[in-house]
Structure 1
């Protein structure tokens, strides 16, 4: 084994692994890492081992486990929050932070809403959101920050529109959800519950017009008492908003950066827009914005010639997993013609694979199509090495992406 590598580390290129992860890549598929507080954990970096472990019930997603690994001081500080804030956190991790059978029950509700038919029906709404924000960006003139002017608001507003939050209420909803971690967490939670109850009451949601409508119908079919419906729906909405917005907006921003760094691949997409769905998956693989998926071993696990002991933290380093040369030919290349473009683990794998993957793909496809069609001269407004990357942690993003057209 190599010496334990510090984890997480900052990227220097938006869409490439942190340079300090090279020893982890060389040590595939399993290595020791050192977290911010000196605790050691495991880094999984091999594709085959990732699929094996993420499907193993002994690899736990239970955030309440005292042995749950934390990657940074901010995450550790959350453990000292008051009761109200902890309640909100428990709501936001009610799907991703529990194991079966509790997880399975909640996931079935979410999966039943994200049908391909509903997502396809929502595409015109998403396109309208993308066009509206691009209109505003263009009207203000170049250069522009593609993160703040397009990627972030398109991902967020597209979620609001597809969830069924009226446009006139979206700014209110945004402000309130941003306060859910603050000292007024309980009051904000209760206010949002009341808001959703009133929304459902004054504007009946049809199953085919929004995800909120689909959730309302499903909860009602399960016989949930009427006064319990808003709380259950709020829980699912918050999970989708918190987990979906940042990952999707960062994927759009860093994906656009990768395209602008590869003008020949960008030209290929402009010449053949039918390649956009495959390009979205390929960009998701290469970008790997959620770069340190966390788990804890619930039992001893004998694997890869060693033992992951009960209580050991396990991090799945997606930027390395999605570049495993034993699985991918030319893993550093952007290739729209890979034989199975959707076999990456950018959305996870196993029971906890992203439940909103079809919606995320739809938002990204529409965002990239809009940019390709309407801004044929899109280019970086600064030198590539001047693009500021957010400090690493285990979630990747851009501070800004200056562009011109």
Structure 2
């Protein structure tokens, strides 16, 4: 027997549910203030009779002071038919699995990015450092909101969780409520933006189906769709990855059996969803006198449909208390419910969970629980179920190749076009990898001469394009010696800019600095470009930009000096600013907009170094070398056998980037962002040094 009131102790929940399944009729729960429907067939019967069992009690009534400010039912599950089906039809087609696969690369990259932050520690708390932030950013991205605000969105949504909130429990409830109201205002604002300019996101999708006449709804009803999806989309999946990993690691052989490939991961996830989902069950209100599970129910009474119990009903599942990663999927588990209120985001959750398992398997060898499963803590019994924390350990492995390092490539020049008197465009063809719209490449010009150029074509094309202005030894080589048919050796592609999610984007280009922005313009919305030059005849691509993007491009060539201060004073914190061009322009923009993302073609002027001689320890060999006052870190560590590749040797390309394990870098490069510099995690050894007497590098 449970030491506490039945259905109130999370550690005894499955015992209480098993006892209820063996009891004649339904079991009354004081803790849940409901009749508990515990047997599989009874749960399924109720789920498929929404006319008899109303979903209204799943969403509490709003306090009077919130009426009119946020939608009363708040989310789809709070609506009965016909309203439910009408509203759900606006989003159903978005969550078709074959359409969601386009998000897998984004999720994969985000997952690896989070693991990068703790992989070399050998220990982490999975929920706070991986499960919750990844689920939050993913659903934020899918809905169409700014992922940079994901943590704030999580804070706002926590106001609805009550005692289940662990991550934001330290925040004052009044502040949470204020954020929740502001979240609705923010979603309204994004809805207005997407009404005018569509993107590939859920908010735009709903506008598309509304415009096509496929669904009729008010703007206020449309607003009601998103906060609930944001809440369900991160709360349940962050709990699911933790319980999934905890059970796989605590059952001998289960983790290894599940991690053979994506098929075994998908099959194991279905069993894990049956064994312990993130949903205990859902309340329903009886709409008229009826009988369920042998118990007479009166109109107005409440039942709790215990999905977790139905999925362990021995009348339907063989040995249901055993975790079998190869279990047959028939009958269907109740982890995502059934009927009209079955989880809308289940396909996205499955995609996210499968990707999470794959990334954890790839990155964390020897993964194991830091605390036995029996000693882990669950949140209070409610509709949701999940671990409050999941501490893990693993065997730190040698790091993966540096994120901007790549092998040389070979390409043939298949086209050459003079864009201006001193700018030539080259078309390069060969077995070339995909690239992102903020990438640049290295061109090896012989005799040790290597120069970096931005890719300025279309990422969908099979060939690459670069534009080169004649202004130095490398560019003279390109202009005077390279011709159609020649073969060149390349390095890359690599990305320094890193496009960010933002409400608005402002690009500031000077001269040949226009090249990295050309492929970026079509990937973000809304955007504006200010293109500065000495005269339009000397500004490559100017005519094409004016023709293709009327009203969005400002071409300026004097007289006088462009008023950057006025331009940047008109931007707000939600505008991402990017700048590329001469050092004078980039430095001026950095002074006016400290958060600007930049790319330089020449090195940033180096300040005087604060230290002379210092030691560098190479972690891979545990060897320490001394870097002399007039020597670069790159030369010193390569002399000791580190074999770190380099290109520009001026801190502008990022080829030689290495990870810092200990010590404080003195950054002197033009690649790392202000945030990356402050973090001190990476260093470019061709120009940067150490502020501390010694520094340890992951080479």
TM-score of the alignment, normalized to the shorter chain, above 0.5: yes
- Higher helix proportion, which one? 1
Q: Distance in 2 between matches of 1:100 and 1:186?
A: 27
Structure-2 separation of matches of 1:85 and 1:385: 44
Kindly provide the CA deviation profile for residues 92-114 of structure 1, in whole angstroms up to 9, marking residues without a partner as x.
23x10121111110111121221
Tell me what 2:299 maps to: 310
1:25 to 21, 24, 48: 21
Counterpart position of 1:12? 11
Cα deviation digits, residues 179-238 of structure 1 (max 9, x gap) = 688554795256324431454268x333xx322332231222228899x65x44432221
The answer for the alignment partner of 1:252 in structure 2 is 241
Structure 1 residue 294: Cα displacement: 0.5
Residue 99 of structure 1: which of 80, 84, 104 is its match? 80
- Per-residue displacement from partner, 1:58-101 (whole Å, max 9, x unpaired)? 433342xxxx4x8xxxx9xx6573331686362423x1012111
Residue 202 of structure 2 is aligned with which of 187, 211, 229? 211
Match 2:97 to one of 106, 116, 124 = 116
Structure 1 equivalent of residue 66 of structure 2: 84
Q: Tell me the residue number matched to 2:38.
A: 45
Residue among 185, 195, 200 paired with 2:189: 195
Taking the aligned partners of 1:165 and 1:19, their CA distance within structure 2 comes to: 42
2 CA distance for matches of 1:174 and 1:303? 38
Partner of 1:242: 231
Q: Which has the higher strand share?
A: 2
- Whose Rg is larger? 2
Contact in 2 for aligned 1:58/1:301 (Cα 8 Å)? no
Q: Pick the aligned partner of 2:126 from 129, 146, 149.
A: 146
Q: Equivalent residue for 2:54?
A: 61
**How many residues align structurally?**
377
For the residue of structure 2 that corresponds to 1:129, the secondary structure is helix
> Is there any run of 5+ residues in structure 2 with no aligned partner, and where?
161-172, 395-699
Compare 217-226 and 377-386 and name the one that shifted more.
217-226
Residue in structure 2 matched with residue 394 of structure 1 by the alignment: 383
Q: Which residue does the alignment assign to 1:135?
A: 116
What is the alpha-carbon distance in structure 1 between the residues aligned to residue 325 and residue 318 of structure 2? 13
CA distance in 2, matches of 1:262, 1:56: 37
Tell me how far 1:128 sits from its aligned partner: 1.5
- What aligned pairs does 1:243-322 form with structure 2 within 5 A after superposition? 243-322=232-311
Contact 1:254/1:397, CA 8 A, preserved across alignment: yes
TM-score (norm 1): 0.83
Q: Contact between 2:71 and 2:224, CA under 8 Å: does it hold in 1?
A: no
Cα distance, 1:177 vs structure 2: 4.6
The change in CA–CA distance for 1:184 and 1:156 in structure 2 (over 3 A counts) is closer
User: Contact conserved, 1:282 with 1:342, CA < 8 A, in 2?
Assistant: no
Q: Measure how far apart 1:278 and its partner are.
A: 1.1
Scaled by the length of structure 2, the TM-score of the pair is: 0.50
Q: CA deviation at 1:241?
A: 0.5
Query: Which of 189, 196, 211 matches 1:220?
Result: 211
Instruction: Choose which of 345, 353, 358 in structure 2 pairs with 1:356.
Output: 345
Deviations 1:23-66 (A, max 9, x none): 213227x42222238x5x32111112221121113433342xxx
- Superimposed CA distance per residue, residues 271-290 of structure 1 (whole angstroms, 9 cap, x where no aligned partner): 34421111111111111221
Aligned match for 2:29, one of 27, 34, 40: 34
